[in-house]
Amino acid sequence: MVKDVTEQAALVRRGDVSALELVDAAIARLAEKRELNVLVHEQFEAARAEAARPLRDGPLAGVPFLLKDLGQAQAGVPERMGSRALRDHVAAETAWTVERYLAAGLIICGRTNTAEFGNHCATEPALFGRTLNPWRPELSPGGSSGGSAAAVAAGLIGAASGSDGTGSIRMPAACCGLVGLKPRRARSSFAPSAGVALDGLSTTHALTRSVRDTALLLDVIAGSAPGDPFPPPPPARPFVQEVGADPGRLRVLRLEEPPFPGTPDPRVQAVADHAARTLEDLGHHVVSGVLSFDPEVVRRAISVIHAVDNAATFTWLLEELGRRPEPDELDPVTWDMLNEGLELTALDHISAIDDLHAQARRLASVFASADILLCPTLNVLPPPPGALSSSRGSVDAFFDVEFASTGATAVANATGWPAITLPLGEVDGLPVGVQMMALEEAVLLRVAAQLEEAVPWADRHPNGFADV
């Protein structure tokens, strides 16, 4: 199985392998497993040319990498964002995070499949078709970062980028048996095109197989660009130094029930309960409880923000295309969101933001008596295609269905807290993720590293992909 990016970088530094050898091997794996439909744009020849040149002086020099085809623009490279309306679109500028990846020495081999504009926790865009879950092809790999998740889970690449607006890193990580961290709000920059994304709901990071890779890649993209509106407090030290650091004895709140309407599969809940017992065995204090907030207000606020964001995207499309998109050029859910967004008022929008912030303050009261919240990442096992990508007739109804499956993931987006999912179990041969939320990434990384050692997953792979 492909080594994690930390080890790949070490091999290149020691001279045990060349960057070109790593890139050629990654390209061969990606080409061999095209049936998974993880790539929507191949940059193989450009990657080979980059690997043959003198390497940049970065911590990941010579390591192959994939970019999600949404929010990770690279100037001169096609960027379709999962939309038929953008099938001919080429990015005019490079995202700040991509600049950071390139400066770290990563070599971009291609772009991964995503839901249209990240609107679904699924990866089934009409433009490119659905990505398959390497654990079981008839099931979804999750989304919207599903192309990245499937590529990493299948061992085609060591790590790949993603983004997370209601769970779009953590949800596919759970479906594909990976580590998925949503950083705290504003941990990285949306420069040069934006100050925030989805009014602060969305953040950017990566999908990996190891906690140390998650920490290292967070160090790569952490920081603020000049002019960013809400730079976060800098970390006390590099995030990689938190991996293996003693977290002390922490107070862990095990959530007794999902924060939004929906019932966890008992088998999924059992994996989270086992994780709670493992944390007790590691010396942490675990109690059970619930979150105090109004889930209906939060769900409605998220619906409004997504609808308004899609309306803004529609306005941009009119300018970009010079015409109105044809009915079949946008997915039904996108039309639902943008049509509702165009009917909302400025007062609706600002009220949704105010409501979200008010509920976040209520939710934050939990940290007066807890350091970490623990729960299943999802209420369900990996769902079938269509389960989370179909139009429900309204944006509210769409998110009711999504949140019934994704459990507590949207809480971290609403509050801005960091959250991490770890592949701590299996049910019927399918991976199950357990989620932790805290106020700082450092706390999550310390405890995640403890759990990685106590319940290792490095040798757990989808059937048929262990020796890719």
Q: Which run of H or E residues covers position 174?
A: helix 170-176
- Residue 67, exposed/middle/buried by CB under 10 A (0-12, 13-18, 19+)? buried
Do residues 379 and 265 touch, judged by C-beta distance below 8 A? yes
The CA-based angle 252-254-260, given to 5 degrees, is 130
d(CA 214, CA 217): 5
* 231 Cβ contact partners less than 8 Å away, ≥ 6 residues apart: 186, 224
d(CA 397, CA 394): 5
d(CA 77, CA 35): 23
Pairing relation of β-strands 160-164 and 203-208? antiparallel
Catalytic site residue from 83, 145, 148, 168: 168
Do residues 214 and 207 touch, judged by C-beta distance below 8 A? no
Farthest-apart Cα atoms in the chain, separation: 61
Quick one: tokens of 273?
């309960």
d(CA 385, CA 224): 37
Do residues 148 and 40 touch, judged by C-beta distance below 8 A? no
Question: What are the angstrom distances between the C-alpha of 294 and each of 30, 358, 411?
Answer: 45, 10, 11
**Phi, psi dihedrals of residue 41, rounded to the nearest 5°:** -155, 125
CB atoms closer than 10 angstroms to residue 345: 8
Catalytic site residue from 33, 68, 161, 189: 68
> To 10 degrees, what angle do helices 332-343 and 395-406 make?
120
d(CA 462, CA 252): 31
Please confirm, yes or no, whether 33 is among the known catalytic residues.
no
Please confirm, yes or no, whether 140 is among the known catalytic residues.
no
Catalytic site residue from 140, 144, 145, 210: 144
Do residues 421 and 206 touch, judged by C-beta distance below 8 A? no
Please confirm, yes or no, whether 168 is among the known catalytic residues.
yes
Nearest to 120 by CA among 158, 47, 192, 175: 175
Q: How many residues does the chain have?
A: 468
Active site amino acids: 68, 144, 168
